Amino acid sequence: MAVLGASGAVGQELLQLLEERCFPVGELRLLASARSAGQICQWNRKTIKVQEVCETSFQGVDLVLASAGGSVSRQWRQAIVAAGAVMVDNSSAFRMEDGVPLVVPEVNPQAALDHSGVIANPNCTTILLTLALAPLAARRSMRRVVVSTYQSASGAGARAMEELKDLSRIVLEGGSPSSEVLPHSLAFNLFLHNSPLQANSYCEEEMKMVNETRKIMALPGLKFTATCVRVPVLRAHSEAVNVEFDEPFPVSEARELLDAAPGVQLFEDPVSNRFPMPTDVTGRDPVVVGRIRQDISEDKALEFWLCGDQIRKGAALNAIQIAELLLPAA
């Protein structure tokens, strides 16, 4: 198998998870751009050198975990498929393409088996959200979803995380921060998501959530609106979610369903007014959900809050779980 984009933040997390989960690997090829070629990685007690990706990189490979960006995935798609490999792609390049399954294994695992060489890994915020929506939607039909996201620097990559650290030090020392990775300084600041605005005045990130959630959950007519915000958190995203159903949904029932849902952990301590935080999920697999409550403005709606590690379940873990679906039955 091969990891394309092995030197990036998600690529490094992929390597760690492959080892943690004892994924069956014969030969592992680490591929990246010319800039990263030659780097040395330690994996499973082996020393592996990162290679520059080229036309012959995928010969003899059966699986490619791609996390090098949409343009790179588009560039090498044909070579990967022609080599007989399956690409699990973490970029947005193919997510909405007809015939390409968009998969969250706890939500729509069967979709992964109906592919033509490419399986798309959803956007990080979409993955976290659908884990919480799926058990509720299986019990009562959803009419409308309203979500606000609080997205960490990790969503923009390792360089954005380092920039947040550096600019925070500058502010604390009385200096004026100047951002190079993100369009604005995130140090002691927040701003609306910087992806391009669309014709409908929603940004690209918000429309990813809308369209991807509808595709994953097979609800093309689902009413859905989102507002995405970058916040000064290093790693792990949070989301405030409002879901309206066709009929009232008792909070106690929703709590039981979420507590039993795969990939979800329920955490609520109302006595201490303590609910999920990004630090609770950093470096961990579950999406942690809490503050589940009745919407006081609509008797058929529920409100809840969730946090999840953007690099882990929001990217690398989900990709490996997709790959695990492709393994032959034991």
pLDDT digits (tens, 9 = 90+) for 35-78: 889 999 889 889 999 999 999 999 999 999 999 999 999 999 99
Enumerate residues 6+ apart whose C-beta is below 8 A from 82.
none
pLDDT at 22 exceeding the cut of 70: yes
Task: Report the percent of the chain where pLDDT is more than 90.
Answer: 91
Name the residue with tokens 């409100």: 303
pLDDT of residue 330: 52
User: Domains in the chain, please, with CATH?
Assistant: 2-122+315-325 (3.40.50.720), 126-310 (3.30.360.10)
Is residue 126 classed as helix, strand or coil in its secondary structure?
helix
pLDDT at 158 exceeding the cut of 90: no
pLDDT of residue 9: 84
Long-range contacts of 184-188 (CB under 8 A, 24+ apart): 186/153, 186/160, 186/230, 186/231, 186/232, 187/232, 188/232
Amino acid, res. 53: V
Backbone angles phi, psi at 74, to 5 degrees: -65, -40
pLDDT at 328 exceeding the cut of 90: no
Per-residue pLDDT tens over the stretch 182-223: 999 999 999 999 999 999 999 999 999 999 999 999 999 999
Per-residue pLDDT tens over the stretch 219-258: 999 999 999 999 999 999 999 999 999 999 999 999 999 9
Segment 16-31 shows an average pLDDT of: 94
* Residues forming the active site: 124, 237
pLDDT of residue 4: 95
Confidence of residue 5 (pLDDT cuts 50, 70, 90): very high
Amino acid, res. 255: R
Segment 86-115 shows an average pLDDT of: 96
What is the rounded average pLDDT for all residues in the chain?
95
Per-residue pLDDT tens over the stretch 256-280: 999 999 999 999 999 999 999 999 9
pTM of the model: 0.94
pLDDT of residue 187: 97
Name the residue with tokens 């779980």: 321
pLDDT at 329 exceeding the cut of 70: no
Enumerate residues 6+ apart whose C-beta is below 8 A from 6.
12, 14, 15, 30, 31, 32, 36, 41, 50
pLDDT of residue 274: 97
pLDDT of residue 44: 87
